[in-house]
Amino acid sequence: MATTTATITLSSTDLLSDEVALTTTATLTGHNTSTGVLAAIGLSRVTISDTSETTIFDASAYTDDKAHKIYIKNTETTASYSFLVKVGGTELGTLYAGDWMFAPWNADTTGTDCDVTITPSNSGMTAEYMAFID
Amino acid sequence: MATTTAAVTLTSDLLSDAMSVTASTTCMKAGTSADGLDQLEYAVVEIATGDEYDLICTTPTASKASKLFVKNHSIDETYYVAITQNAQAIGRLYGGDWMFIPADFHDAAADIAITSNGGTNKIEYTLFHEGTVLTTT
């Protein structure tokens, strides 16, 4: 069985009066099983020439209601350059320069397709993304 | 300025060669490199199976650079919480899984909700934000 892990470290020495230091690791497994996720898509890198909304994960291409995970990073360095991330047409949040996200994704297609899209604030912006597929 | 760093490492032997992806970001307020996120909300809650709750009780200032970390502490592989935003399915967080996402709470309906499945799920979450509307007594 392939083993895929995701580790996050959140740290700050001055946000609170005491230090914040949190590290946790998840071993990515499938729906209702301890078997690891079965596939990886990417790592991909895309530069969007304009400011149009771009689909990076198409829900109809995957089995829905599974334990997929997605990773997206805004590779830009100009602070105001951002990507608006939507899931199924609903705004999730904004990734500013250097920001990344890691989220579960069930590729739901029972209502609105749960496609993941990114919309750059400026033309010529670059993002990286990948998915782990159950 | 508060400095909060979020780093991720993804590793896998799914491929013919070992894969490792790392990234690190300093959590800044929206559109600036001069001022970091300086407020947070932290909680650990247990949610009985079938129950659905908004994870965030107050409304962080909309369209900002808030970041939300959520971890499911359940150890049973059949337990998970379904994550939705404004009734839109996002994904399922199984036992041991975590997520870290931008959350801009662009309107009053944009709360992130979780529904517990399989059994009682113990959920830890931290919201890093830059302002919130507190409930008046």
- The conformational region for residue A30 under phi > 0 = left, psi -120 to 50 = alpha, else beta, is beta
- The domain covering B30-133 belongs, at the CATH homologous superfamily level, to Jelly Rolls (2.60.120.10)
Which whole-number Å values give the CA distances from B107 to B81, B86, B91, B103, in the listed order?
A: 23, 9, 21, 11
Q: Are A21 and B30 in contact (CB under 8 A)?
A: no
Q: Any chain B CB within 8 A of the CB of A112?
A: yes
Nearest to B131 by CA among B73, B25, B59, B31: B59
Residues on chain B touching A66 (C-beta within 8 angstroms)? 92
What's the pLDDT at B57? 67
The answer to whether the Cβ–Cβ distance between A104 and B90 falls below 8 Å is yes
Q: Please report where in the chains the tokens 């949190």 appear, as a residue.
A: A22
Who among B12, B15, B38 is closest to A15 (CB)? B38
Who among A20, A32, A91 is closest to B110 (CB)? A91
Tell how far CA B125 is from the center of its chain: 6
Q: Please report where in the chains the tokens 């990948």 appear, as a residue.
A: A130
Q: Any chain B CB within 8 A of the CB of A103?
A: yes
pTM of the complete model: 0.95
Tell how far CA A18 is from the center of its chain: 30
Domains of chain A (ranges; CATH) run: 37-133 (2.60.120.10)
Question: What gap in Å lies between CA B9 and CA A133, rounded to an integer?
Answer: 17
What's the pLDDT at A67? 95
Q: Which two tokens stand for residue B90?
A: 């996002």
Segment 62-81 of chain B within 8 Å of chain A by CB: 63, 65-67, 69, 71, 77-78, 80
Question: What gap in Å lies between CA A37 and CA A30, rounded to an integer?
Answer: 5
Q: Are B124 and B70 in contact (CB under 8 A)?
A: yes
Compute the CA torsion angle B7, B10, B11, B16 (nearest 10 deg): -140
DSSP state letter for A45:
E
Question: What gap in Å lies between CA B91 and CA B72, rounded to an integer?
Answer: 13
The answer to whether the Cβ–Cβ distance between B4 and A15 falls below 8 Å is yes
Query: In chain A, how many H helices and how many E strands?
Result: 0, 10
Predicted confidence pLDDT, tens digits, chain B (137 residues): 789 999 999 999 998 888 999 999 999 999 899 899 999 999 999 999 999 998 876 677 777 899 999 999 999 989 999 999 888 999 999 999 999 999 877 777 788 899 999 999 999 999 999 888 777 88
Q: Are A20 and B37 in contact (CB under 8 A)?
A: no
Provide the residue ranges of all domains of chain B, joining segments of one domain with +: 30-133
Q: Any chain B CB within 8 A of the CB of A104?
A: yes
The answer to whether the Cβ–Cβ distance between B91 and A68 falls below 8 Å is yes
Q: Are B107 and B48 in contact (CB under 8 A)?
A: no
CB atoms within 10 A of CB B58: 14
Regions in chain A scoring below 70 on pLDDT? none
The answer to whether the Cβ–Cβ distance between A79 and B13 falls below 8 Å is no
What's the pLDDT at B91? 96
Q: Give the largest Cα separation in chain A, rounded.
A: 47
